[in-house]
């Protein structure tokens, strides 16, 4: 019996010695000969992709209330009306730079409805009065139409191409070459997978010769999507109007993260019903 025990311990010692070369904490030979302490395995990190996706999901900019002294009750009532409208009529997610087709009711058209296709160049307004401007060039004539998102006369909003651009405001397309604002009226919707990130079109637009409607080279517009072919000295002269202190102005800071989180929660509850 004693001999077997000795054998076993010899074998164990050999195993321990052998496996001591590898740095396995469970098998490390402790200096004072005591059995090694049990180290539990590291906990797995669970990445909840669903909640992450919900947090990153699009919140329409007209839901975020502007900074002011208005009672939040007024924004709450407006949001209730907006949610009610969204339950009945689908307002899709879109950004400035996406191509949309909007069908509105028109008492004077033969079909009593009108369809317009264009690129969204601006999204303005807050609350129920939110608007978006669509631009297209039809028979060499530039046409811009400003639609109200919550107007009851809109019968359908279809996103033909969902993409973002380098700027939040594409008003400079008025002074760009017409090819950048022309979109086929019978364009087919571009198919897109749900989980894909929104593509950013890094297109740099070429402009018509100056004069433009606004001096787009000036830093106050902060335009990244124009390929400026102006001479160097003109670009340098435009930097004279830069206001580098503006980004450090603390009174202009408006942190919407908490407000956004609350509104997202409210929206997901109400629209999920």
Partner 1 sequence: MSLWSPPPAGRNSLCGAARKVLAADAAGPAPPPPPPPPPPPPPPPPPPPPPPRTPRGRKRRLLRRGGGMAGWARLARLGGRFWAAAPSPGHRGQLGFIVRHINSSTWWHEHLSEENVEFLKKITAEEYKAQTASKLCPLKDEPWPLSKWTPDSIRVGVVAVKLGMMPIWTKSGEKRPVTLLKVQDCHVLRYVSKEESGGKTAKLLVGGKNVSPFSKPESAHEIFKEAGVPRKQKVTTFNVTDDAIIKPGTPLYAAHFRPGQFVDVTAKTIGKGFQGVMKRWGFKGQPASHGQTKTHRRPGAISTNKAAKVYRGKKMPGKMGNIYRTSFGLKVWRINTKHDIIYVNGSVPGHTNCLVKVRDSKLPTYKDCNKNPPFPTFFADGDEELPEDLFDAEMFQFTDPSVTFA
Name the residues that contact partner 1, by CB under 8 A: 68-71, 73-74, 77-78, 81, 84-85, 88-89, 105-107, 112-113, 127-129, 148, 150-155
Question: Please, what is the minimum distance in Å from the beta carbon of residue 273 to partner 1?
Answer: 14
Taking the least distance from each CB to partner 1, the nearer of 52 and 151 is 151
CB of 130 to partner 1, least distance (A): 10
In degrees rounded to 5, what are phi and psi of residue 11? Answer: -60, -45
Q: Is 206 helix (H, G, I), strand (E, B) or coil?
A: coil
d(CA 101, CA 196): 22
Cis ω before 232 (30° cut-off from 0): no
CA dihedral 68, 72, 77, 83 (to 10 degrees): 80
Residue (27 or 89) nearer to partner 1, CB: 89
Minimum CB distance to partner 1, residue 257 (Å)? 24
Of residues 152 and 178, the one with the C-beta less far from partner 1: 152
Complex with partner 1: residue 67 or 74, whichever CB lies closer: 74
Q: How far is the CB of 223 from partner 1 (least distance, A)?
A: 31
Which CB, 125 or 219, lies closer to partner 1? 125
In whole angstroms, the minimum distance from the beta carbon of 68 to partner 1 comes to 8
First to last CA, the chain: 74
36 close to 25: Cβ distance less than 8 angstroms: yes
Diameter over CA atoms, the chain: 108
Residues in the chain: 273
What element of type H or E holds 132?
A: strand 131-138
Q: What is d(CA 93, CA 103) in angstroms, rounded to the nearest whole number? A: 16
Give me the least distance between CB of 101 and partner 1, in Å please: 15
- Residue placing its CB nearer to partner 1 in the complex, 65 or 225: 65
CA 250 to chain centre: 25
């Amino acid at each position: 019996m004693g001999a077997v025990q000795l054998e076993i311990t010899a074998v164990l010692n050999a195993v321990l010695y052998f496996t001591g070369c590898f740095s396995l904490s469970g098998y490390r030979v402790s200096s004072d000969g005591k059995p090694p302490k049990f180290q539990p395995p590291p906990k797995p990190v669970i990445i909840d992709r669903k909640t992450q996706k919900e947090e990153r999901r699009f919140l329409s900019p007209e839901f975020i209330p502007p900074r002011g002294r208005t009672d939040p009750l007024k924004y709450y009532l407006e949001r209730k009306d907006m949610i009610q409208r969204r339950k009945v009529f689908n307002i899709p997610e879109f950004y400035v730079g996406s191509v949309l087709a909007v069908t509105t009711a028109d008492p004077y058209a033969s079909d009593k409805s009108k369809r317009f296709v264009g690129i969204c160049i601006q999204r303005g307004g807050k609350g129920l009065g939110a608007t978006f401007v669509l631009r297209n060039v039809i028979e060499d004539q530039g046409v811009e139409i400003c639609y109200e998102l919550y107007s009851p006369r809109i019968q359908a909003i279809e996103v033909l191409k969902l993409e973002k651009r380098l700027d939040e405001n594409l008003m400079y397309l008025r002074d760009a070459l017409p090819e950048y604002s022309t979109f086929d009226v019978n364009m087919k919707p571009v198919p897109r997978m749900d989980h894909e990130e929104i593509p950013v079109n890094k297109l740099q637009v070429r402009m018509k010769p100056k004069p433009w409607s606004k001096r787009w080279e000036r830093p106050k517009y902060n335009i990244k999507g124009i390929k400026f072919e102006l001479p160097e000295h003109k670009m340098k002269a435009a930097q004279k109007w830069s206001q580098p202190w503006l980004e450090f102005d603390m009174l202009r800071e408006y942190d919407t993260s908490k407000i956004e989180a609350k509104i997202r929660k409210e929206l997901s509850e109400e629209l999920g019903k």
